[in-house]
Amino acid sequence: MKTIKTIDKTINILDFISDNQDKYNLSSLSKKLDMPLTTLNGLILTLESHKLIKRNDNGFYELGSKILELYSKYNVDDILINRYHNKLVRLAELTNETCHLAKAIDDDSIIYIDKVESSHPVRLTSMVGNFDLKEETAIGFALDDDKKMYDEKIHYVITKNDITIYFRNEIELYAYCVAVKLEEDVAISVFVPKSRFDEKKLVDCMVEVI
């Protein structure tokens, strides 16, 4: 892909300063980045004018206030919710069961970021913002690359129309928790009592939603 060299250089400067705050002045930056002083000075002034970087009292450069402002507007959870809430609603409509959207936060855990609850009097209750261990959830099973740690008597997979559906057999609750991976580290799930749904019906619902 063709890029604009001046913008490439400017972004490289910003990246370098973000990794080396309060360490380099204009002269040392020029040497480190192997960039002519006159060229660098123009790009630095542009970054400063937009408050993306600033020069401190020692003459060294660091990130500016605009970076924090931009970061405050970037909420990954809101983006994911906007992207997938309609799927969550549709799954809840098809099943009338509690449905979740969750993401992995590390190698061991997930966090629930959106949900639609069942209208049944007897239903799973949960809260957005709660954490769970991957190995104890269908979502964790769907997101984890290492499937060897999961008990095959509890966790299993059904594939239909090239969609992989991850089951967790909640034996004590006589229920299924079923999940589908939507993207890297993000999955949708539904918790269903076995008295209301069988495997085939669940698979069909998940395929329709995805």
- Per-residue pLDDT for the chain (210 aa), expressed as one digit of tens each? 788 999 999 999 999 999 999 999 999 999 999 999 999 999 999 999 999 999 999 999 999 999 888 877 777 788 899 999 999 999 999 988 889 999 998 888 999 999 988 776 665 666 788 888 888 889 999 998 777 777 777 888 889 999 999 998 886 778 888 999 999 999 999 988 888 888 888 889 889 998
CA-to-CA separations, 180 to 23, 80, 149, in angstroms, rounded: 46, 15, 19
Question: Where exactly does CATH 1.10.10.10 map onto the chain?
Answer: 5-72
Please calculate the CA angle 27-46-1 and round it to the nearest 5 degrees.
Answer: 100
Reported pTM? 0.65
Fold for 76-209, please state it.
Beta-Lactamase (3.30.450)
Question: Where exactly does CATH 3.30.450.40 map onto the chain?
Answer: 76-209
DSSP for 161-177? TTEEEEEEEETTTTEEE
Report domain 5-72's class. Answer: mainly alpha
